Amino acid sequence: MTVETDKLESRAGAMPSTWTKRGLTSGASWIACADVQTQAQFLNDLGEGELLALPFLFEFWALDHQLPPEGDWRTWVIMGGRGAGKTRAGAEWVRSKVEGSRPLDAGECSRVALVGETIEQVREVMIFGDSGILACSPPDRRPDWEATRKRLVWPNGAIATVHTAHDPEGLRGPQFDAAWVDELAKWKRGQEAWDQLQFALRLGERPQVCVTTTPRNVDVLKALLAAPSTVTTHAPTEANAANLAGSFLEEVRARYRGTRLGRQELDGVLLADAEGALWTSALLEAGRVQAAPELDRIVVGLDPATTSGAGSDECGIVVVGAQTKGPPQDWRAVVLADCTVQGATPNGWAQAAIAAMTRYGADRLVAEVNQGGQLVSEVLRQVDPLVSLKTVHAARGKVARAEPVAALYEQGRVSHLPELDALEDQMCLMTARGYEGKGSPDRVDALVWALHELMIEPASVWRSPGVRSL
């Protein structure tokens, strides 16, 4: 059976500008939003062959992140959550590089590398998967799988060969004008395999690579994203909700909402841990809890901002509770909320801090006064004259104050509730050298003051009760 893909592509050439002007993401969404008369006219104008070709015209169905950006790029990284449509985008990009209705001339035979972590993953996901190359190809342009040679051969002569990150040396010798790389961020020998692939991309006028991956904080991906020849598209899992089971989305969002794992695996966000960070993503995830236990004390840590306005530093406001019965080694803390505000006036952040105390039943507000001095106390007491306030003055640097708090996390004595993304991002950029993010780590400062009040200072003066000898 032959489908009239070329003819339909020509007819649909003007469609993208039409649906883009209307703020829609694809031709399919344009038709879905059109009135019944327009829909009928569109379908009636298509011949039998064009109707057969329509499911294979990816530009008509694709979401924004699934189409390659314009420009002279070397590498296109599609970074997204699980089920966001990355595999389909990679398979369709390979189709766009190799398919054609005529045989290729001697000098233009496309040679594509399909590179995954293992042969099984290349075969079962990239080639034979539900969104793989074979499933996406129209019948008259579907390649043949030559299992013994581990390659796909298209009717026009184009060839795609299978390679794996477990065997980087297998990329020595072959040469390509394009490559599709899947799940680069989880390759154990990622940098070595990626380097060998670059040496093999030496055919044609402009060799290109499509990388489809869920983000992970690994050097090979971070270096690739920073390269000037790299372009990126991104989408969360929800972007492809129409093609996913509703129960799947409900379950994973309920279980992972507000966690760093959820941000990585569902939102497709690259979570950066600075080299030598006092806290890591893995450490924070290991201490994740869904609900707080019964707590003996709750305090609010406050790191006031000295200026207000859109460009000012944040005013860190973090709520922490603790169980403090028994000896200090048995004490446990839970970070309950991050109520940080930005751009607020002194009266605004004072109200936010006291509101956090009221909401969570805190017995004390611990406020740093290094820069605000007596003004901090005065502003807070203007909002609530009876507020239980302890002012602290930082005699040591941020790192020196943070290190004993980080040790509590390493001992497994501090847990986090969900929805603390911004705080955790700052924590993972705090190193022994200092803070490696932008601005000031005001959320971390507020956290540190709260945990010093709950865990560190009381432990330093704690004495086990005993019986005096006569």
Cβ atoms of residues 77 and 71 within 8 Å: no
> ∠ CA 406-412-418 to the nearest 5 degrees?
85
Name residue 277's amino acid. Answer: A
Write down the pLDDT at residue 19: 42
Q: Is 1 buried (19+), middle (13-18) or exposed (0-12) by CB count in 10 A?
A: exposed
pLDDT at 24: 44
More confident residue, 397 or 200: 200
pLDDT interval class at 443 (50, 70, 90): very high
Which pLDDT value is given to residue 21?
A: 40
Q: Are 215 and 84 in contact (CB under 8 A)?
A: no
pLDDT digit string (tens) for 34-76? 667 766 766 677 676 666 767 777 877 778 888 888 888 999 9
Once rounded to an integer, what is the mean pLDDT over residues 81-101? 87
Give the pLDDT of residue 14: 44
* Dihedral-angle region of residue 273 (phi above 0 means left; psi in -120 to 50 means alpha; beta otherwise): beta
C-alpha to C-alpha distance for 179 and 348, rounded to whole angstroms = 54
- Four-CA torsion 439, 444, 449, 450, nearest 10 degrees: 140
* Residue 100: predicted pLDDT: 64
Q: Using 50, 70 and 90 to split pLDDT, how confident is the model at 265?
A: confident
Mean pLDDT of the chain: 84
* Alpha carbon distance, N-terminus to C-terminus of the chain: 103
Q: Is 454 exposed, middle or buried (0-12, 13-18, 19+ CB in 10 A)?
A: buried
- pLDDT band per the 50, 70, 90 thresholds, residue 33: low
Across the range 402-417, mean pLDDT stands at: 94
Tokens, residue 289: 């809890």
Kindly give, in sequence order, each residue whose CB lies less than 8 Å from that of residue 124, ignoring residues fewer than 6 positions away. Answer: none
Query: Residues 184-200: pLDDT tens digits?
Result: 988 988 999 999 999 99
Beta bridge partners of 232: 77
pLDDT value of position 440: 87
48 CB-side CA count, 13 A = 2
pLDDT band at 26 (very low <50, low <70, confident <90, very high): low
Between 217 and 319, where is the model more confident? 319
Q: How far are the Cα atoms of 1, 46, 48 from residue 51, in angstroms, in the given order?
A: 13, 6, 5
> What totals of helices (H) and strands (E) does the chain contain, helices first?
20, 17
Pick the CATH number of 68-254 from 3.40.50.720, 3.40.50.970, 3.40.640.10, 3.40.50.300: 3.40.50.300
Q: Which amino acid is at 82?
A: R
CATH, domain range 281-461 = 3.30.420.240
Q: Which of 1-10, 32-41, 197-206 has the highest mean pLDDT?
A: 197-206
DSSP-derived secondary structure letter, 276: T
DSSP type of residue 127 = I
Mean pLDDT calculated for residue range 203-211: 92
Domain boundary assignment for the chain: 5-61, 68-254, 281-461
